[in-house]
Amino acid sequence: MTEGVVYEVNDGIAVLRVDNPPVNALSPHVRLALNELIRKADEDPAIRGVVLTGTGKVFVAGADIKLINMPRTGPTIGDFLAHVEGMRKPVVAAVQGTALGGGFEIALGCHARVALAGNRVGLPEATLGLIPGAGGTQRLPRLVGAAVALEMIVSGRHLEVEEALRLGAVDAVVEDDLLGHAFAWVDRLLARSLLPRARDRQPSGDMTDIEAARTAFDCKAAELGTNGTAATQAAIAAVADSFDRDFDEALAREIEAFTRLRTSPVAQARIHAFLAERAARHVPGVKSDTPRRPVDTVAVIGAGTMGAGIAITLANAGYAVCVVDAAVESLDAARTRINTTYGDLVGRGRMSAGAAETARARLRWFSDLAEGVAEADLVIEAVYEDMDLKKRIFAELSRLAPDHAILASNTSYQDIDALARETARPERVVGMHYFSPANVMKLLEVVRGAATSPQTLASVLDIARRTGKIPVVVGVCYGFVGNRMLWQRTVQTQKLLLEGCSPREIDTVLTNFGFRMGPCQMQDLAGIDVAWRLRKARGERMEPVDTIADAGRWGQKTGKGYYLYPEGVRTGVDDPELLEIVAGVAGRLKVPRRRVGGEEIRKRLLFPLINEGFRIVEEGMVERPGDIDVVYLHGYGWPRDKGGPMHHAETYGLKRLADDLDRMAETLGEEELRPTRFLRELADTGGSLAEIDART
Ligand code: COA
């Protein structure tokens, strides 16, 4: 065995089986082995053909993403395929599992492709800000046509092999005995005078397909107000090459484009996001063999917007859900809201009527807490943010819920340990912080209390994944990770308004950065009155937002907030009256007004937020900096092209960031804006967050 690839001979056919756990990525040793072994098979007169396959659920998952930043060494997949294409012996890909990126490109370069039913293939490089780099942009258009190839490459989507067969990307799909079928293909190809090679075919379609893609892309870019992604443009150019350039010249241009894109900030950010999402699944103390508590029935306490969203999420995933609320009118309202949501989903073709009905039938409604939680394996409390109320509920749940049941709170801020202390089962108390709307947003902050057991955590993480959420485990602190950091942005937004910025100026800076909406638009959507009410109850005030709320401007729901929302307009229209209100508050508070530039706005909105992220890492509230990026990518709309706040800090430069924060603290006279000890230390010692991520 050459490392990473097993070589076996079966009745004169060499089987090359890639075996590089976990996903058979094309690490340097695998590329080396493939190149050596194909030569060995070719040179051995006793071998009449080759079958190439993988091990386990994945055929080959493509380039080794963990090493993608390293300079390429040793023989490449391009070399391997060039050898295959020069061979007189047939080479057949036996695709036994998922074939992605370079994995699928290897298959495209073989003389035939046989796939086991139920698997997927695709070229997902675009999702990483890349294009295929092993001939995919040249061979795929020759097999499926330029239009289909472009769609596949630009979207990066994974296809069922059955669809790939229909399109011509694979030659056969078989239900069983894959190797037997692949051997038969070797013999069938031996009977031909010429071996079929994708490179010898003409791409079907013509330049109008390329022009159509370019136009569609330009329209989309115009609609988004961006120049689009470099990867999309490179993909279109590469597929265009398949028409008007020599095959080998086009291959050389493809790898050139791939190499150029690989070091681009967008690819670096997207690759970081991919790896951070996987790393966040590794939770200290939780292993694959940690025992889980079986959970079938979940009680959701509180039938507000959050409770209803959580109930839908759980019912869709097959859990029996008991929605509990003492107020019968709240239960009725939730039932109506849930019915409307399912109606919308069916209406928009997102769910079949049958599936919606089945999910709805899993919901039961209770006004009595004892009855509602009697059968629960998990209880999720989702009442409003009143700690005394939550404490009372947890004390009652401790008495009423079955002994084995896990008790979770959906609080956005409060102390999970204090809630655990109200119960006789602190090891089965945990935070499950959903984001609104809970049936749509992917992020779930799973809050690990001081006493939360690995078993509880493992069970909750399983439920999160089964319901399609992306869970990130965080520690107990006020606001946890996402909201604690966001608070810094809220504070700066308010200060910027008082200093003279309009909501539009503030929001535009962030939408230009890549967010779908800015802080003022977000508050208008969520409702300005929510935090205003909370502050009122505590006797606190924040300006100018509370004066804006005093004026009945609560956001979209009242038709005006930071912006005006005339009938049917959801994007918001600038309102001079709002500017007058803010100017009035600034005058009253004697805040000097000035013109603030875009760069200052961006730094003030983002850097204090990022600084708080460093504090969170320093306090050990997350396992690794990358976890914060996952929170922001999936819960706060941080643009994937920018990788997340911590990745952004690293790209910007930790030293520059720390110095900027020092300067900001001095010019604004706000000592709390100083870089945290941890940031300053990393900045001064040349440390890096990526190194910390890699260590965990
Ligand atoms: N290179 C290196 N490591 C990879 C990898 C790749 N191409 N693809 C996945 N991995 C790693 C993951 O980081 C994870 O590592 P960990 O166990 O240390 O956390 C492990 O393999 C399992 O991956 P995961 O995504 O959790 O497994 P899955 O079964 O859910 O999905 C795939 C498997 C192959 C569908 C999925 O991993 C995937 O889409 N990979 C990327 C494919 C790709 O984009 N290829 C083109 C590269 S240019």
229-233, 403-407, 497-501: segment of lowest average pLDDT: 229-233
My answer on whether 452 and 583 are in the same domain is no
> Residue with the nearest Cα to atom 30 of ligand 1?
278
- Residue 400 inside a domain? The answer is yes
The DSSP symbol for 2 reads B
| Residue 124 in contact with ligand 1 by CB distance below 6 A | yes
> Rounded to the nearest whole angstrom, what is the distance from the C-alpha of residue 65 to the centroid of ligand 1?
8
C-alpha span between 28 and 72 (Å, rounded) = 8
C-alpha span between 226 and 600 (Å, rounded) = 22
- Residue 286 inside a domain? The answer is no
Q: What is the CATH number of the domain that holds 416?
A: 3.40.50.720
Output the pLDDT for position 695. 85
- Residue 276 inside a domain? The answer is no
- Residue 288 inside a domain? The answer is no
- Residue 512 inside a domain? The answer is no
Output the pLDDT for position 223. 60
> Residue with the nearest Cα to atom 9 of ligand 1?
23
Output the pLDDT for position 242. 93
> Rounded to the nearest whole angstrom, what is the distance from the C-alpha of residue 133 to the centroid of ligand 1?
18
Q: How many domains does the chain have?
A: 4
> Rounded to the nearest whole angstrom, what is the distance from the C-alpha of residue 536 to the centroid of ligand 1?
49
Please identify which of the residues 3, 8, 43, 125 carries the catalytic annotation.
Answer: 125
My answer on whether 456 and 405 are in the same domain is yes
Give the range of the structural domain holding residue 301, as residue numbers without chain letter: 297-474
pLDDT tens, residue by residue, 286-315 = 999 999 989 999 999 999 999 999 999 999
| Residue 126 in contact with ligand 1 by CB distance below 6 A | no
| Residue 21 in contact with ligand 1 by CB distance below 6 A | no
Last residue of a domain, one of 589, 609, 628: 589
* Atom number, ligand 1, closest to the C-alpha of residue 64: 1
Average pLDDT over residues 631-657: 97
pLDDT tens, residue by residue, 120-176 = 999 999 999 999 999 999 999 999 999 999 999 998 999 999 999 999 999 999 999
My answer on whether 34 and 167 are in the same domain is yes
Residue 118 clears pLDDT 70, i.e. is over it? yes
My answer on whether 242 and 351 are in the same domain is no
226-230, 270-274, 620-624, 692-696: segment of lowest average pLDDT: 226-230
> Rounded to the nearest whole angstrom, what is the distance from the C-alpha of residue 37 to the centroid of ligand 1?
25
Q: What is the CATH number of the domain that holds 533?
A: 1.10.1040.10
C-alpha span between 310 and 312 (Å, rounded) = 5
Q: What is the CATH number of the domain that holds 118?
A: 3.90.226.10
Quote the tokens at residue 415: 């102390």
Quote the tokens at residue 451: 């006493």
Residue 570 clears pLDDT 80, i.e. is over it? no
- pLDDT confidence of 215, banded at 50, 70, 90? confident
Phi, psi of 183 (to 5 degrees): -60, -40
My answer on whether 376 and 458 are in the same domain is yes
Output the pLDDT for position 221. 61
My answer on whether 60 and 100 are in the same domain is yes
**Greatest C-alpha distance within the chain:** 93
* Atom number, ligand 1, closest to the C-alpha of residue 132: 48
Give the Cβ contact number of residue 594 at 10 Å: 9
Nearest in space to 564 (alpha carbons), one of 610, 606, 503 = 503
Residue owning tokens 């409770």: 307
Question: pTM for the whole thing?
Answer: 0.94
- From residue 473, give the alpha-carbon distance in Å to each of 377, 423, 512, 631, 684: 21, 22, 31, 10, 29
- pLDDT confidence of 211, banded at 50, 70, 90? confident
Average pLDDT over residues 618-642: 97
Phi, psi of 175 (to 5 degrees): -85, -30
Last residue of a domain, one of 540, 572, 589: 589
My answer on whether 538 and 394 are in the same domain is no
| Residue 261 in contact with ligand 1 by CB distance below 6 A | no
My answer on whether 87 and 126 are in the same domain is yes
My answer on whether 612 and 656 are in the same domain is yes
> Residue with the nearest Cα to atom 33 of ligand 1?
23
Average pLDDT over residues 578-587: 98
Q: Please indicate whether residue 105 is annotated as part of the active site.
A: yes
Residue 588 clears pLDDT 60, i.e. is over it? yes
My answer on whether 578 and 645 are in the same domain is no
- Residue 97 inside a domain? The answer is yes
* Atom number, ligand 1, closest to the C-alpha of residue 278: 19
> Residue with the nearest Cα to atom 24 of ligand 1?
278
Percent of the residues in the chain that have a pLDDT greater than 70, as a whole number: 98
Instruction: Determine the residue of 278, 470, 623 to mutate for testing ligand 1's pocket, defined as the one with the most ligand atoms within 8 A of the Cβ atom.
Output: 278
Residue 44 clears pLDDT 80, i.e. is over it? yes
| Residue 99 in contact with ligand 1 by CB distance below 6 A | no
Phi, psi of 199 (to 5 degrees): -60, -25
Output the pLDDT for position 222. 59
My answer on whether 172 and 33 are in the same domain is yes
| Residue 62 in contact with ligand 1 by CB distance below 6 A | yes
